[in-house]
Amino acid sequence: MLKRLSSLGLLVLLALSAFSLNFTDYAVYNDIENGLKAAVLLEKSVLMVFTLPNCSTCGRLKNEALSNPTVEALLREHCVVIVAEAEKDRYAKFPFSAYVNPSSQSFETVNYYELITKKLGSNAVPFTIFLNPGLEMIGSTQSYNGYESYESALKTFIRLNARNPKKVFKKITASEKELILDTLPYAQEIGWEEFKAAINNLDPLKVYILSKVKVEEVRVVLDPLPLLRADVLIQTK
């Protein structure tokens, strides 16, 4: 009897772990540059969280808030999420607007530690910043004081700056397609026939990428819909 109970408990634990969420299932991890490039392509706001691997408070933020399914759905609907370790071995451009205007020469390349301490003015982690679709910093929150207060800060950011985000339907290049697929865990390349069959059941939290189909063909299918349910990108060259 005890053996059967132990086996049942193990099965329950395995089942729960199969459905558990980790923030890396949807967030861009430790890649600010490509995360911001993806946000620009999707015309989305950005939530950027600076942490450190050995920071216990950072661990709580990752495990309690960012790995919560309610927070995941809220964030994926409204913005691109980037989680970066504030260390000296990875680099990004600053100001972030350099990613909006690639021809700009008015930026510095700094490591993540200098980015948070010298450019963003924080001397502690975790540190969360909010960027609008133009990648301008519009708010921040320092430290982590529990799930409820953090969720409240996220909802305030979304209510004031990222409410009712539009879904994107646009053409992209082959290199942009690879960027999106390599960077966003929830991006999916899908065949044209499969896309048409699923048109009324698209996952609004995914980014769908089509290729080998003309924009006009896709528009004929999408135009009768009352609204675009998900982001749709079409590789045209």
Contact residues for 110 (Cβ-Cβ < 8 A; gap 6+): 91, 92, 94, 118, 119
The answer to whether residue 41 scores a pLDDT higher than 60 is yes
Concatenate the DSSP letters of all residues of 2-68 into one string. Answer: HHHHHHHHHHHHHHHHHT---GGGTSEES-HHHHHHHHHHHT-EEEEEEE-TT-HHHHHIIIIIIT-
Q: What are the residues facing 109 on neighbouring strands?
A: 93
Closest among 109, 112, 111 to 129, alpha carbons compared: 112
Model pLDDT, residue 162: 58
Model pLDDT, residue 16: 37
* Distance, C-alpha 1 to centroid of its chain: 47
What does pLDDT average to over the chain?
A: 89
The answer to whether residue 15 scores a pLDDT higher than 60 is no
The answer to whether residue 7 scores a pLDDT higher than 60 is no
Cα distances from 179 to residues 145, 153, 183, 207, in angstroms, run 35, 30, 6, 12
Question: Does residue 112 contact residue 32 with C-beta atoms inside 8 Å?
Answer: yes
The pLDDT tens digits for 74-115 are 899 889 999 999 999 999 999 999 999 988 888 999 999 999
- Euclidean distance between CA atoms 93 and 123, whole angstroms: 19
Give mean pLDDT, residues 174-202. Answer: 96
The answer to whether residue 6 scores a pLDDT higher than 90 is no
Contact residues for 14 (Cβ-Cβ < 8 A; gap 6+): none
Pairing of strands 137-142, 127-131: antiparallel
The answer to whether residue 218 scores a pLDDT higher than 90 is yes
* 3-class secondary structure, 90: coil
The answer to whether residue 21 scores a pLDDT higher than 90 is no
- Euclidean distance between CA atoms 229 and 226, whole angstroms: 9
The answer to whether residue 219 scores a pLDDT higher than 50 is yes
Percent pLDDT > 70 in the chain is 90
Model pLDDT, residue 10: 41
The whole model's pTM is what? 0.89
The pLDDT tens digits for 139-151 are 999 999 999 999 9
The answer to whether residue 210 scores a pLDDT higher than 70 is yes
The pLDDT tens digits for 129-181 are 999 999 999 999 999 999 999 999 999 888 877 556 679 999 999 999 999 99
- Euclidean distance between CA atoms 177 and 131, whole angstroms: 23
Model pLDDT, residue 59: 97
Dihedral over Cα of 121, 33, 27, 236: its sign: positive
Q: 133 — phi, psi (to 5°)?
A: -60, -20
Contact residues for 138 (Cβ-Cβ < 8 A; gap 6+): 130, 131, 132, 157, 161
Domains, the chain, ranges and CATH?
A: 22-162 (3.40.30.10), 169-235 (no CATH)
